């Protein structure tokens, strides 16, 4: 039967929202840099993202709603006047928002699985820097190339719905 939802053909979705297309999404980004008397610099930046509710399936099945969410990320970077090194402290999802990144629907939308975004993450990156033009990156008005780096990530370990660990997390 072409109208059978299990077959997914011959259905009329006129007037429904587009799948995975929130009505409203917004991103606000700010960055400011201070040059210190020593010639070193401090740069601070923040990034706020909002995504409204959206549906995974074109039939607007309530089991496939991806709820709205807001995320805030920030970082502070100190760069030495000698251009020899810098140190960045950063955080992602600082509000520790539990949010769904993707929903998988099976069996005609009667069974769904959610992929949750990572919880709050905080870390720092010490960077040795060279001023060579090879493999360069623009940062704070100066050309810098990354030779090597070490990164430390700390994230709180919280469970997703029903206490299940979120992707990318380990239970303590």
User: For 1-24, what is each residue's pLDDT tens digit?
Assistant: 444 555 556 678 888 888 888 999
Instruction: Using alpha carbons, list the distances in angstroms from residue 59 to 63, 145, 153.
Output: 11, 49, 40
Single pTM value for the model: 0.66
> How many Cβ atoms are within 10 Å of 101's Cβ, its own excluded?
13
Give yes or no for residue 106 having a pLDDT over 50: yes
Q: Is 167 exposed, middle or buried (0-12, 13-18, 19+ CB in 10 A)?
A: exposed
Give yes or no for residue 53 having a pLDDT over 70: yes
């Amino acid at each position: 039967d072409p109208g059978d939802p299990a077959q997914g053909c011959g259905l009329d979705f006129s007037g429904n929202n587009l799948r995975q297309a929130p009505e409203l999404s917004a991103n606000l980004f700010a960055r400011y840099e201070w040059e210190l008397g020593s010639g070193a610099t401090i740069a601070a930046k923040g990034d706020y993202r909002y995504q409204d509710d959206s549906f995974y399936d074109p039939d607007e099945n309530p089991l496939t709603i991806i709820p709205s969410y807001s995320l805030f990320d920030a970082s502070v970077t100190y760069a030495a006047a000698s251009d020899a090194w810098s140190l960045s402290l950063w955080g992602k999802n600082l509000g520790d928002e539990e949010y769904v990144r993707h929903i998988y629907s099976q069996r005609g939308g009667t069974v769904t699985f959610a992929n949750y975004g990572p919880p709050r993450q905080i870390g720092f990156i010490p960077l040795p820097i060279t001023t060579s033009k090879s493999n360069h990156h623009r940062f704070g008005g100066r050309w810098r190339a990354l030779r090597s780096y070490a990164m430390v990530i700390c994230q709180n370990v919280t469970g997703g719905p029903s206490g299940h660990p979120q992707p990318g997390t380990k239970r303590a």
